[in-house]
Each structure stands twice: as structure tokens, then as C-alpha cells.
Structure 1
């Protein structure tokens, strides 16, 4: 192993070796293009990898379900893409999905003949320890977020 002259980071075979984030903090970010519903699975897998060996299986399953709902909502109900971030710090997971649509989502309980459509935010409301919608400080858009406690 050698060390890069400019960065001081360990190198192997000419490439930087990624450092493992500390156990008390880990994060991921991803941009998702407009209408790229295949990206929902990729985001879900990235979150699973982030949480692997950092939290219990039940918490990880809930987090995967909720991030799937928020990213899908952003891609289906807005005209643009989304920015997804997840941070696990001090046993608290916070997931944020930013999009450029100013319209605020509202949970509603669909009728029995609606199939599975419309249940996403109801699930977020029921399973997250806290959640909300905040307007972006600059420009149009919003951040829909949720938090899970005791995720570490």
C-alpha cells in the first residue's frame, strides 16, 4: 500500500481506498432523473447497504419501504427529478427527498377499490417516528423527510 502525495489517502493499484465511515455516522446522497423509476430500486439498495451492520433488520426494512414511497412520489407526482439523502447519526436515521415542485403532498386514505395507489404517505405517517414537508429556502420546491429513532 502507498499513500497519495497530495491527499495523504491510502492507495492500492493506483486508486484511492474508500474509508469506512465511523459507526456513529454514515450517509448517502443520490440524484434521480425525472421519471427514472428504475432508480427507485437503486436508491433502496444503497440505503440497505448504508444500514447493513449499523441497525436492526426491522428498522432497515421500514427505512427501505419509506424511502421507496418518497422517491416514487417525487418521480410520479412532479415534473423533475429528485435529490435523495440519508444520514445515520447517533442512532437516528434521517432521509430527505428534495424536488422542484412547490405543491405539498398530503396523505389520504384511498377507497377500497383504488388498489394500492395513494397509500405512500399514509405509510410514512404510520411508520416513521417523525416526518414532514419543508419548503426549500431558495427557489421553488420542497423537502419531504422522515426520521427513525434507535436506528443504530
Structure 2
């Protein structure tokens, strides 16, 4: 993922309409990379999963972490990595036990189910964190 064409970065900060903006930004990257418009049902499902995970990560930053600062979308040969940097000190985790019939609390459960892996990176001595998730690239 060394090539600049494989990385897209969007500053969010105090932007209004953050979640739709992040989805549109990611949709544009997927279009540039040839994922959209999808030629097959598998490619369409992969693109929809990426857009859903972006929505969940950015929404969590808005609701629980003082807002998102930045979204990065990185394309690798076998994965797409999504990174949302925020100002919050919290630790995102799927709600346990997960109760599908109750409203709210599904974001990190969805991320966990759709992604190959996800986690949190922190810089010692700096506020905030980066929540990242990796999804399989379509074949």
C-alpha cells in the first residue's frame, strides 16, 4: 500500500453531515478503484460491506468519541483498511451479550462480523485513537 493512489484521506473535524460525507468519499474511492459499479453480486456485496463499516466507525466516533478527525481508506492487494481517527479516550467494543432485537449498540458487532480484523491504535501521550478495520478485497 505504498502508492498514493491506494490511499485516500478525508479530514472531518467539525464537518456537518459527517457520516454521509464519509460514505460518499469512500464510494468515490471504490469507484476509482473499479469496485463500483459492481460487475458481480460478490463485488457489490463487498462494496456495500465497506460502506456499512465506514458508516459504523464514523457514527461511533460521533456518538462516543467527541467526533471523528480523519478517515483513511487504504487499498491493498487482498484487503481494504478503513481508519477513523477521533479525539476520544474510550475503548470501542461489541456490546456483550449482543441483543439483536434491541435498538442501538450494534455498530461494533457489525464491524466484528463483517471484517477480517479490527482494532485500536493509540499514540502514547497523545489524545484520541485510531479505530481500524480490514475487509477482504473482492476477487
* TM-score range for the pair, normalised by the shorter chain length: 0.7 to 0.9
Q: If you compute each CA radius of gyration, which structure gives the higher value, 1 or 2?
A: 1
Tell me if 1:145 matches 2:132: yes
TM, length-normalised to structure 2: 0.79
**Which structure carries more helix by proportion?**
2
Unaligned runs of 5+ in 2: 36-42
Q: Secondary structure of the residue that 1:95 maps to in structure 2?
A: strand
Q: TM-score, normalised by structure 1?
A: 0.73
Question: 1 CA distance for matches of 2:133 and 2:27?
Answer: 16
Which 4+ stretches in 1 moved above 4 angstroms? none
Contact 2:7 2:72 in 1 (8 A): yes
Query: 1:54 aligns to what?
Result: 34
- Cα RMSD (Å) of the superposition? 2.3
C-alpha offsets along residues 79-110 of structure 1, whole Å, 9 cap, x if unaligned?
Answer: 24421100112232000001121211111124
Helix, strand or coil at the partner of 1:30 = strand
Which of the two has greater strand per residue? 1
